[in-house]
Amino acid sequence: MKIKIAIPSKGRISDPAVAILEKAGLGLKDASNRKLFSNTHNSDISVMFARAADIPEFVADGIVDMGITGLDLIKESNSDVEILTDLKFGQTSLVLASPEDSDINSLDDIKSEIVVATEFPNLTDSYLKSHGINAKIVELTGSTEIAPFIGIADIIADLTSTGTTLKMNHLKIIDNILDSSIKLIANKDEYFNNNEKKNLIGTVNISINGVIEAERKKLLMMNVSKDNLQIIKDLMPSMTGPTVSEVLSDREDTVAVQAVVDEEEVFDLVNKLKNSGARDILVVPIERII
Ligand SMILES: Nc1ncnc2c1ncn2[C@@H]1O[C@H](COP(=O)(O)OP(=O)(O)OP(=O)(O)O)[C@@H](O)[C@H]1O
Ligand SMILES: O=P(O)(O)OC[C@H]1O[C@H](OP(=O)(O)OP(=O)(O)O)[C@H](O)[C@@H]1O
Ligand SMILES: [Mg+2]
């Protein structure tokens, strides 16, 4: 049984998608710029490169079994796919924005005859309709922020993350339509009904979850004299452990201690450990936790 995973061929989420597969043990074996497909280090799993916006439909139609793409693009295309895991990157919001000097500050100020420019006509139209607003939608494929200033729309619906682009274009947020980030998705029928593919899809999902989990954790390693061991053990929050092992050296009073800890705890913890007599402290990145 073989499965295909669609990942973005270009744009901001292409490299992080490849990186996450690599860390999950599914590094690409023969990717080159012009190829549409690549094998991975697992002979049952291959990758197809596609535009991020096309991936939800390819997964829903079973052209590929799994995919990596944004929630905004999944919802805009109204694709019926199974969302398996949030990949914790590409965080952005689809917002309605008006020119800074406009009187439109909230949905209540929008009159029905308003014109909205957007790359997300379906999401925008259904959001406005659900608030009783029938807008005219002008569909663009990029640089939406310019639309009010060239007179083709009153307001826009576009993605924002740092807010820099809105600010540069003198636009203010008036409402939030959708918070989006990048998801691992699967074809529903294969995930729920195809026994063989279900297993392989599940394995990929578990590996990728392991990568996400590991990104928030560090491995702490240190040498501790036996006299200080109890204090150090008490300080260590750990998944299971800490692990204490013998150090083969002249200093027989020394043991090595290691434990996996949350990234947010590392800064404080390292100081406390140092002050309690730990030596040679190493903070090591982890690739995957299964
Ligand atoms: N400024 C941003 N910050 C975070 N994520 C973003 C941002 N802009 C777009 N995204 C997300 O990136 C994903 C891919 O978007 P898109 O296909 O537009 O790629 P891109 O990197 O913007 O390339 P391009 O627009 O040049 O084709 C979408 O799911 C979208 O939500
Ligand atoms: O809040 P910010 O951090 O400024 O990011 C928001 C911008 O990022 C995206 O544009 P992108 O760079 O993908 O260009 P595009 O409009 O051509 O898609 C989005 O369409 C906004 O324009
Ligand atoms: Mg873009």
pLDDT tens-digit series, residues 237-267: 766 678 888 887 766 689 999 999 999 999 9
Q: Which domains does the chain show, CATH number per domain?
A: 3-89+182-214 (3.40.190.10), 92-180 (3.40.190.10), 218-285 (3.30.70.120)
Instruction: Give per-residue pLDDT as tens, 197-239.
Output: 999 999 999 999 999 999 999 999 999 999 999 999 889 876 6
In angstroms, what is the span from residue 182 Cα to ligand 1's centroid?
10
158 lines ligand 1 (CB under 6 A): no
Is the CB–ligand 1 distance for residue 90 below 6 Å?
Answer: yes
Q: Which one-letter DSSP state was computed for residue 28? A: B
Tell me how far the alpha carbon of residue 177 lies from the centroid of ligand 1, in angstroms.
16
Ligand 2 atom nearest to 168, measured from its CA: 4
**Percentage of residues of the chain with pLDDT beyond 90:** 86
Which residue has the CA at smallest separation from atom 8 of ligand 1?
A: 159
Q: Rounded to a whole number, what is the distance in angstroms from the first to the last CA of the chain?
A: 23
Contact in structure between 117 and 153 (CB atoms under 8 Å): yes
What backbone phi and psi angles, to 5 degrees, belong to 54? -90, -20
pLDDT in tens, 69-91: 999 999 999 999 999 999 999 99
Is residue 148 within 8 A of residue 99, CB to CB? The reply is yes
Protein residue whose Cα sits closest to atom 6 of ligand 2: 160
ipTM (interface predicted TM): 0.95
Give nearest CA residue, ligand 1 atom 4.
90
pLDDT tens by residue, 135-153? 999 999 999 999 999 999 9
Phi and psi of 177, rounded to 5°? -90, -45
Distance of CA 5 from the midpoint of ligand 2 (Å): 26
